């Protein structure tokens, strides 16, 4: 039985990560009946989310072998050695226990906080494909929220610099160009080593070892898109986030967001060699930190960011049109000169 927990993944975590974590705990605890059908629709309903994060969470659970496929749509909870008969239930009826923080407050502010990380990631990941107009009404309809909440989400996006509201009162995002990639990487290689230097004393050896172990698992072949994004977040976001200077952190986070989100965009364009090089550089940084050689770790981080810029510029040059599956109803492509 999965007990109700007072804590849950932090509100700023991507929604797919929250869904994945909760479902994984239930599956590992045997809380769901064998054969329970887990599909995008019933998972999205259970977490009051859209199908996009539900699908991402299910894919990761499938990749890890925690759920299996069957003749119908979706996946099923495994039932030992025998193939269980598909069982279709709402997850609440099947034993799903949501963390208290997910259930406790349905206020507009909390609903906005809940959907914001997904919208932020989706918009940032789209920018390499060009310039987009964001439709407030379509965003509200997509998530089943009020226009007030949708407006608050867009206002928050504007504060990060991802989108802007122009003179016609419409919201626009993008494009992410080769020149803007250079500028964001320059910000990062100047600021991230400074942030790492401030953050380093706050880490335990166990925390750094856990991050390095995750890289080593990826080097062993665990290279799904969420695993790679998680590795990038471990070093470039979560590690440097412990620096003391809040203004420094906000500046670096803005450039990080736009670039790290493009990993989902570029996933089919990244070569195995590029991924292997990235992983080796991340591991080297952790090795140096674990050895107590902070100066070398900071230099390695700067070198890593310098080198990473060029493959990303090359990838944006050969990026094709946005795949139909990646299109979102609240993002409308516009000509770069339009407003």
Task: Tell me the pLDDT tens digit for each residue of 127-149.
Answer: 888 999 999 999 998 888 888 88
Nearest C-alpha neighbor of 138 from the set 147, 129, 148: 147
Whether residues 232 and 313 fall in one domain: yes
Looking at the DSSP bridge assignments, the partners of residue 69 are 75
Q: What is the DSSP string of 265-327?
A: HHTTT--HHHHHHHHHHHHHHHHHHHTT-HHHHHHHHHHHHHHHHHHHHHHHHT--SPPGGG-
Nearest C-alpha neighbor of 123 from the set 157, 96, 78: 157
pTM above 0.75, yes or no: no
Adjacency order of strands within the sheet including 131-134 = 163-165, 171-173, 131-134, 331-334
Residue at 235 is within a domain = yes
Q: How high is the pLDDT of residue 9?
A: 42
pLDDT band for position 11 (cuts 50, 70, 90): very low
Which of 10-19, 268-277, 296-305 has the weakest average pLDDT?
10-19
Q: Do the Cβ atoms of 36 and 59 come closer than 8 Å? A: no
Residue 2 has pLDDT above 50, yes or no: no
Segment 185-203 mean pLDDT: 94
Residue at 148 is within a domain = yes
Range of the domain at 50: 15-104
Domain holding 212: CATH number? Answer: 1.20.120.530
Whether residues 28 and 144 fall in one domain: no
Residue at 204 is within a domain = yes
Q: Do the Cβ atoms of 330 and 139 come closer than 8 Å? A: yes
Residue at 2 is within a domain = no
Spatial distance between the Cα atoms of 1 and 30, rounded to a whole number of angstroms: 7
* Residue 171: alpha-carbon gap to chain centroid: 23
């Amino acid at each position: 039985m999965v007990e109700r927990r007072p804590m849950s993944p932090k509100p700023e975590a991507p929604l797919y990560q929250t869904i994945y974590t909760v479902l994984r705990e239930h599956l590992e605890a045997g809380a769901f009946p064998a054969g329970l059908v887990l599909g995008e629709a019933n998972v999205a309903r259970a977490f009051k989310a859209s199908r996009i994060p539900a699908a991402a969470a299910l894919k990761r659970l499938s990749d890890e072998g925690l759920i299996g496929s069957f003749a119908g749509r979706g996946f099923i909870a495994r039932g030992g050695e025998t193939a269980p008969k598909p069982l279709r239930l709402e997850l609440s009826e099947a034993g799903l226990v949501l963390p208290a923080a997910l259930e406790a407050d349905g206020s507009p502010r909390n609903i906005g906080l809940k959907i914001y990380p997904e919208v932020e990631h989706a918009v940032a990941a789209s920018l390499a494909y060009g310039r987009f107009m964001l439709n407030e009404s379509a965003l509200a309809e997509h998530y089943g929220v009020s226009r007030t909440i949708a407006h608050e989400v867009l206002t928050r996006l504007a504060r990060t610099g991802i989108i802007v509201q122009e003179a016609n009162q419409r919201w626009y995002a993008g494009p992410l160009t080769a020149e803007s990639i250079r500028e964001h990487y320059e910000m990062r290689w100047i600021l991230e080593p400074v942030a790492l230097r401030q953050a380093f004393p706050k880490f335990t050896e166990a925390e750094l070892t856990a991050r390095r172990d995750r890289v080593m698992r990826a080097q062993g072949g665990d290279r799904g898109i969420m695993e790679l994004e998680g590795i990038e977040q471990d070093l470039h976001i979560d590690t440097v986030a412990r620096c003391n200077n809040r203004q420094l952190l906000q500046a670096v986070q803005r450039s990080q967001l736009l670039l790290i989100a493009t990993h989902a965009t570029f996933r089919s364009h990244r070569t195995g060699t590029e991924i292997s090089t990235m992983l080796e550089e991340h591991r080297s940084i952790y090795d140096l930190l674990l050895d107590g050689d902070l100066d070398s770790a900071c230099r390695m981080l700067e070198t890593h960011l310098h080198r990473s810029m060029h493959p990303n510029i090359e990838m944006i040059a050969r990026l094709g049109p946005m795949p139909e599956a990646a299109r979102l109803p609240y993002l409308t492509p516009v000509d770069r000169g339009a407003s």
